[in-house]
Amino acid sequence: MKTFRTTCVAGAIAISGLATAATPSDAQAQAESRARQIVSTLTLDEKTEQLLNGAPAIPRLKIPAYNWWTESLHGAFGPGATTNFPQPIGLAASFNDRLMQDVAASISTEVRAVYALGRGKPNPNKIGGALNTWSPNINIFRDPRWGRGQETYGEDPFLTAQLGKAFVNGMQGPNPTLPQVIASPKHFAVHSGPESTRHSADVWVSAQDLEDTYLPAFRAAIVDAQAGSIMCAYNRVNGEPACASQSLLVKTLRQDWKFNGYVVSDCDAVVDIHAHHKYAPDAPAGVSAALKAGVDNECNGATLSNTPGLGERYKQALARGYLREADIDTALVRLFSARLRNGDLPGLAERSFPAAPAINSPEHRALALRSAIESLVLLKNDGVLPLKAATRIAVVGPLADARRVMRGNYSSGQTGPTLTVADGLRQQFPAAAVTLVPFGPSITDGDPVPASAFVAPDGSPGLRASYFNLEAGSATDVGKRRFQPKAFASHGVTQIDSRAGDFPEAGAVTRTVWTGFFVAPETGSYRLGLAGVKGGLRIAGREVTLAKRPTRWAEPVALTQVDLKQGERHALQFETESGAGAPPGMIWKRVSRQPLADLRAGVQGADAVVAVVGLTSDLEGEEMPVKVEGFSGGDRTTLDLPADQRAYLQAAAQLGKPLVVVNLSGSAIDLSWAQANAAAVLQAWYPGEGGGQAIAQVLSGAANPAGRLPVTFYRSAADLPPFDDYRMAGRTYRFFSKPVVYPFGHGLSYASFRYE
C-alpha cells in the first residue's frame, strides 16, 4: 500500500523546538508537556475558540484548523466512496470480536486516508477528515423501540463490552498512546431514547442497573482498551446532565477509572444544560458546569455554519468567576495532547498516512462482504433453503430492489458498488429466472436516482447548473457549468455536485437552477421527489413536488407518482433557494399501480418467492420528525411491520409457493406471522455495501448462515415496560419472562450439530 508523510509545521515556539521523537513509553508525558507549552502561548480569545469542535487555525503559530466532529460508526465519513460495513447491530450478530477488530482497523485506515486527502483544504468545519472518531456507540439496546438501537451492539452488557473493546483496539491500533485514530465511545453513560425527549429527559437508574448494565461496556472501552476519548450524552442521569455530571465524569471516569483522555459533548448537549435541562440559569453558567465536570471539547452545531462568537460564553463565565483560566488550560492541554499523539500535530513520532487507494480498497470490499455474511441470522428454515441453482425465483416486496436501505444510518455520502437483493440473486443464480415484481407505494420508498438517468441540455451526461443572485429584485447571472451527478446516499438522495468553489462570486448566490432531462430506464410508474434543499422540481413543465428538507433533521421527502416511458426525455428543472454550495437531490422508486395483481402474475411461474420487507433508517434513527403509523420522532411505536407489508405477505403466502421472508431492519420486528406461515425467515439488518451479495449467497447455500440475535425479538411492545422507564426489570433476555418470537442468541445454520 502506498503511503505518504505529512509535513505540517507548527509554530517555532509551540512545536518545532521539540523535535525529538517519542517512544511509546514516554509519548503521553511528552505530549502533555508540549501541549502545555502550546497553551501557554495562546491568548484568551484563541483559547476559548479551541474548546469547540470546529477549532480554528492559529496562523501565528502555524497550527491548522481542526474539526473534532468525525463519524465512523461502520465506515469512514469522506468525500469519496468509503467502505460501508454492516450496521453495528448486524456486526454484533456475528458474535465475532476478531471480525469487529478487523472492521474497525479497516475503517481506521480509511479515516486516515480521508484525513490526508483533506489536509490543508478549505472548509475545516466540514464533518469528517480528523484523526479521531465519535464511535463506537456502546449504549445498551434496552428497548426495541429506540431508533438508534441499530447503532449499538445489542442488549447484553458483556457482548457489548467485548465488541466495544474490539472496535476501540482496531480503530486506535496496537499502541493507544500513539493511536492511529482516537476512538470516542458514546453516549456516556445511560442513554437509549426516546429521541423526542433526549434534550430534556431526566433518567433515574438504580445503583445495581448502573453497575450491572449501563457502565460495564464503557469501563471495558476506557480501562481495558484505553480509548483516548469519550462522549457524554444529552439527557440527565439521576438529576445531573450527563455532560455536567460530577458523579459520572469526575468520580467514575476520572477518579475510579483513571481516565486521562478528553471528553467531548454530544452536539449541543452543553447548550441543553441551560436551555432545556434548566440546570444552569444561562449559557455562561452552562458551559462552566460542563467544563468544571471535565468536558474538554464542546460540539456545537452552530460551528457548521461558521457562527462567530461561540467562545464568548466561556469568557463571560470567566468574568463572572464561574471559571478560572486554569480550568480552560486543563481542557486545552488534553485536546492538544490528543492532536500531538494522533499525528495531527508533529513532534512525537513521524507518522505516515495511507494514500487514496486505501479507501474502499478490494481488501476492504471483501471484508464488507464477509462481515455482511456473518451478520445474517437464519431464524427459520423448513428445508426450502438453500435454494437450488435452477430455481425460478420471484423477488417481491418494497425493499427487493432498494439500495439505500443497505446503508443504515451514519454512513458516508458515497460507497462502493452496492447490489440490491434482486441484483444479488440475479448474480448468484445466473442459470435461473429471477423476476422482480414491483411493490406499491410505500413509506420505505426513496433511492437515489442513478446518474445515468440525467442528460444535460447539450446531450452530454449530467445536468447544467445556473447560479443567480436575486437580491434587490435583480437576477444577476453568476455562472453556468455542467455537472455529473454523484450518489449521495446519507439521506437517500442524489447529489448534484455544485463545485461552488469554482466561482469566486459563489458566496453571493441566492438561487441555483439545475436544468436538463430525466430519462426513465424502463416504462412504468415512478414516485419522484426532491430532497436536501428548499426548492421545486418540474418535469416536462409540470410541478412535481416541493422540497422542504434543508437539513438532516427535517421533514420526510414528499414523493409524487408519475407514469414514464422508457427512453423518453422529460425536461427537468430544480430550482433551489439555497446557495451554490447546497447539494440538491432527486430520489425515486419504481412502483406498481396494482401491486396485488402484479404479485399474482409475477409469482405464477416461480418455484419460490423471496419477499424482502422491513424498515429503513429514514424511519428509525436519530431525532427525526417522522410521524407516520408505527413511527414517531425516529423511534418506533409498535414492533409490527408496516400494515401494507403485512397484508402483502399474507397475499403472497396464499399463492401456494414456498415463501422466504428476508427482513431488513435495525431493530427487533414482530415476525410471529412469518414464523408461523413462511417456509424460511432471514434477518438481514442493514447489511452494508455487501448486503445484496451476502443475502444471495446465504439463500443459495454458497455461504452458511451463522449469525445469532444480539437482541430479543418480542411479540409486542405491550409486553414491555414504558419506553422511558430505564429500570431493567422486564427487559432483555436477562429480565424478561414472557414468551418471545425469537430469543437472544437464536440463529440456525445449514449444518447439523451434535453435542457429546
Residues recognised as catalytic: 266, 620
Q: Integer distance in angstroms from the first to the last C-alpha of the chain?
A: 47
Torsion of CA 123, 129, 130, 131, to 10 degrees: -160
Cell reading at 231 = 462522549
Cell reading at 100 = 469487529
- Contact assessment for residue 668 and residue 639, using Cβ atoms and an 8 Å cutoff: yes
Q: What is the DSSP string of 485-548?
A: -EEEGGGTEEE----GGG-TTGGG--EEEEEEEEE-SSSEEEEEEEESSEEEEEETTEEEEEEE
- What is the chain's length? 756
- H helices of 85-151, where? 88-92, 97-118
Omega of the bond prior to 721 within 30 degrees of 0, cis? no
Using DSSP bridges, classify how beta strands 262-265 and 229-232 pair: parallel, antiparallel or unpaired.
parallel
Helix H or strand E encompassing 691: helix 691-700
Separation in Å, CA 614 to CA 343, 384, 528, 692: 43, 21, 21, 15
Nearest to 234 by CA among 283, 146, 280, 299: 299
Separation in Å, CA 653 to CA 383, 600, 615, 695: 16, 11, 20, 21
| Cα distance between residue 601 and residue 102, in whole Å | 45
Q: Is 616 helix (H, G, I), strand (E, B) or coil?
A: coil
CA 65 to chain centre: 24
Surface-to-core class of residue 354, CB atoms within 10 Å of its CB (0-12 exposed, 13-18 middle, 19+ buried): buried
Amino acid at the residue 593: R
